[in-house]
Structure 1
């Protein structure tokens, strides 16, 4: 078991849980940013579910690495879509947060592959 994988998986899971929770409770800052780029509020629960599933998969991946790798890859794709959505809407101020989360998601994914 790689300590680096465990730490990055836990850190990313905490970020995903926080982001998912913010979407579920419709935090004003999150709601404003998402609606600004054209995401309908009806999508918030689905997006939150994807983030929470990613967090759960990463945490289970500590014990069962293939699931952690798959969850990490899914989270990478999720945030790649988020970055593209912000860029397509020309929301350059909103793009850095999902870009950082995209990079953070790549860490446990690559570490999981390297230590599988």
Structure 2
């Protein structure tokens, strides 16, 4: 297990836990963005749960490698979907946010 893998995985997990925390807090800016993208506000907590599960799976993967790989795949798929939702809504200025998370998830998967 390389140092780069551990660092990228921990950064990815922390970023996703922070994003999930914002979801659980039902932050106004997140709810406003969801409305812009055409997503119902009722999805905010389930989306936070997915981010939390992915983050915890990445951290567990430091001990059980296949679990980390599965979590990284799940986060890649989640953020591909997020990029697609933002692009579909033609909110181009918002694209860097999910793209950055996608990049972290891809890096975690590649380094695994």
- TM normalised by structure 1 equals 0.93
1:67 — aligned with what? 67
2:81 — aligned with what? 81
Aligned CA RMSD, in angstroms, stands at 0.8
1:28 — aligned with what? 28
Work out the CA distance in 1 between the residues paired with 2:90 and 2:98: 14
Aligned to 1:63, the other structure's residue is in SS state: coil
Unaligned runs of 5+ in 1: none
CA drift at 1:3: 1.2
CA drift at 1:108: 1.1
2:45 — aligned with what? 45
CA drift at 1:95: 1.2
CA drift at 1:57: 0.2
- TM normalised by structure 2 equals 0.96
Aligned to 1:93, the other structure's residue is in SS state: helix
